[in-house]
Amino acid sequence: MIELRSMPTACGERRRDQACSQCGARALSICNSLDGADLQRLDALAERASFAAGEALIREGDEARNVFNITSGSVRVFKLLADGRRQITGFLFAGDFVGLATGDTYVFSAEAIEPVTACRFRKAEYRNMIRECPSLETALLERATHELAAAQNQMLLLGRKTATERIASFLLDLPAHDLARPMPAGHVHLPMSRSEIADYLGLTIETVSRVLSRLKTQGLLKLASLNEVVVMQPRKLRALAEGDI
Amino acid sequence: MIELRSMPTACGERRRDQACSQCGARALSICNSLDGADLQRLDALAERASFAAGEALIREGDEARNVFNITSGSVRVFKLLADGRRQITGFLFAGDFVGLATGDTYVFSAEAIEPVTACRFRKAEYRNMIRECPSLETALLERATHELAAAQNQMLLLGRKTATERIASFLLDLPAHDLARPMPAGHVHLPMSRSEIADYLGLTIETVSRVLSRLKTQGLLKLASLNEVVVMQPRKLRALAEGDI
DNA sequence: CAGCGGCCTTGATCTGGGTCAAGCTGTGTT
DNA sequence: AACACAGCTTGACCCAGATCAAGGCCGCTG
């Protein structure tokens, strides 16, 4: 048992009062939506877990026993085809929930990209929790709806955008998800590898690398390091992302 | 005010006790999850609406005033890029909800493919309803989670599957959504045009047409009419869809 | 029942991004 | 400091599916 309330980030605290660019919702963190008594009850049910880089929180096909709330680090959520082709359907950061699938088995996998800490809830207990704390359900519905809006944007990206538009959209959207990590304006931290970016955007690593190089040559970006991009011309990048060209 | 209870399909009745192939959930229709008293309350709030083919239920950017429950017909949900490129993010049938976005404005459009009837709920009233009827929220969360699982499958399809795999997946998954329309085993009804299939699968109409023709030549399908496909070899089609080749 | 128009199919050609193949870079190790 | 290795970049070439173009089919209308 961990005293979540004594640790500001333990239940996935995120910056408050920032409207989501994809669905317009505010106060998306579960923490922000619940009152003290509810958080206390969550507290009693939470078990802390940590994962090394590459370790799995959730494996597709396993019995769905747990729900996690990420408290630090970053996670890749993905599905595989039989021959190994991988689609990363999302990256998760502090404050995100994972494992809310309705069925008896997980329908996706989730692995730590960098060292991760999380609160684990047994799914059985989690159901009791919902019964006692209806506002949790409201908060989860809001988050699910938000993720659905994000998924629609991603489908638009995967189905209809060019490689350049995909990379531009990605660089502009990423900071909105990773709110726990404070970055100077214009700086984007990439905890994931090129191969993970490629599998998220439906491209190959070579194309990701080429497009980043071209955007750099064109002066839209600087590559401060492998894992840090500085957006030099956000207007132009936004125009590229929307296909306005 | 419409007496929903007196019309079996009015609140989006769907076949019961059929587990979803994408997320394992059962009883996905809202109707199936609610008891008589709750349905009666929903009843009092519902307003019947009908839409001609091509008419919009929801326009991206408009103020989000309504939530709809489709009671008959089929609907395309989509997003557009500035230059007109379209991604259809889903097709909706009897029993599906649309318009549950959290924000103040809709972030996608929804249009009737064929004549549609639906129950309209004012969003303000809908919020009261949730307060009075907590099991509605549970049902909606279950549906949202289900749609999220479907969205992840679609991202895998759009990001990593070949044209043939996309078409095969589409033909196998479609009947599971359109439960209200009873079809003989193996028969798939396509209420949407080739152009809508293309915009759903991230392809062009020419590619959709060519792949269907090839599958027909190979004896996997018959094209009974423009809008009806008969799957002759479901095993082989499933193998194609999963990329097992 | 002829003519029209919207959709669908099929063929020919083109191209964005994939594939294959070197190198490069940065980091950790001895 | 030299090395090794994993991940990244860059170049050359290729191909699945897009684009461009020409008919075909079918339901509707006069």
A44 closest CA partner among A95, A100, A11, A3: A3
Cβ–Cβ contact B131 with A under 8 A: no
pLDDT of residue B221: 95
Return the pLDDT at A32: 61
Helices (H), chain B: 30-33, 36-45, 123-132, 134-160, 163-177, 194-201, 205-217, 234-242
Q: Residue A27's pLDDT band (boundaries 50, 70, 90)?
A: very low
Give span(s): CATH 1.10.10.10, chain A.
161-242
- Tell which B residues from 28 to 87 touch A, by Cβ distance under 8 Å: 77, 79, 81-83, 85-87
Between CA B209 and C1' D19 the distance (Å) reads 15
- Per-residue pLDDT reduced to its tens digit, B111-132: 999 999 999 999 888 778 887 7
CA distance linking residue B228 with residue B210, whole number of Å: 16
Within 8 A of B85 by CB-CB distance, chain A residues are 160-161, 243
CATH 1.10.10.10 maps onto chain B at 162-242
B39-53 tens-digit pLDDT:
777 777 889 999 999
Please give the pLDDT value at position A181: 83
Query: How close is the nearest chain B Cα to the Cα of A216, in Å?
Result: 25
- Summarised one tens digit per residue, pLDDT across range A96-107 is 999 987 788 999
Q: Most B CBs within 10 Å: which of A127, A152, A166, as the mutation test of the B interface?
A: A152
- At residue A23, the pLDDT reads 54
Greater model confidence, A43 or A194:
A194
Tell which wins on pLDDT, B6 or B55.
B55
pLDDT of residue A244: 61
DSSP string, A129-165: HHHH-HHHHHHHHHHHHHHHHHHHHHHHHHHH--HHH
Concatenating the DSSP letter of every residue in B44-66 gives: HH-EEEEE-TT-EEE-TTSB--E
Give the distance, in angstroms, between residue A191 CA and nucleotide D8 C1'.
Answer: 15
Looking at residue A4, its pLDDT comes to 34
- Give the total residue count for chain A: 245
**Cross-strand bridge partners of residue B49:** B118
Q: Which of A119-128, A193-202, B168-177 has the lowest mean pLDDT?
A: A119-128
Q: State the span(s) of chain A assigned CATH 2.60.120.10.
A: 4-157
Cβ separation B155–A155 shorter than 8 A: yes
- Report the pLDDT value the prediction gives residue B132, as an integer from 0 to 100: 76
B108 touches chain A (CB under 8 A): yes
- In this prediction, residues A157-171 reach a mean pLDDT of 98
Angle, helices A134-160 vs A163-177, to 10°: value is 160
Nearest CA in chain B to A19: B103
Instruction: Name the segment(s) of chain B with CATH classification 2.60.120.10.
Output: 4-156
Q: What is the CATH number of domain A4-157?
A: 2.60.120.10
User: What is the reported pLDDT for B6?
Assistant: 29
- Cα separation, B245 vs B241, in Å, equals 9
Q: Which residue of B has its CA nearest to A244?
A: B82
- Kindly list the distances between the CA atom of residue B121 and the CA atoms of A23, B49, B57, B111, in Å, as whole numbers in the listed order: 20, 10, 12, 17
Binary contact (B202, A137; C-beta < 8 A): no
pLDDT of residue A31: 59
Q: What angle do CA B65, B69, B70 make, to 5 degrees?
A: 125
Half-sphere exposure of A199 (CA within 13 A, CB side): 19
Q: What is the pLDDT of residue A137?
A: 86
pLDDT of residue A112: 97
- What fold does the segment set B162-242 form as a domain? Arc Repressor Mutant, subunit A (1.10.10)
- Amino acid A88 CA to nucleotide C19 C1' distance, rounded Å: 21
Mention every residue, 6+ apart, whose C-beta is less than 8 A from residue B225. Answer: none
Query: Collapsing DSSP states into helix, strand and coil, what is residue B108?
Result: coil
Q: Which CATH class is domain A161-242?
A: mainly alpha
Please give the CATH number for the structural domain made up of B4-156: 2.60.120.10
Q: For A45-68, write each residue's pLDDT tens digit.
A: 889 999 999 999 999 999 999 999
Is the model's pLDDT at A22 over the cut of 90? no
Quote the pLDDT of residue B219. Answer: 96
Residue B16 reports pLDDT greater than 50: no
Q: What's A207's DSSP letter?
A: H
ipTM of the complex: 0.91
How many A×B Cβ pairs under 8 Å? 159
- Nearest C-alpha neighbor of A106 from the set B145, B176, B171, B173: B145
Total residue length of chain B:
245
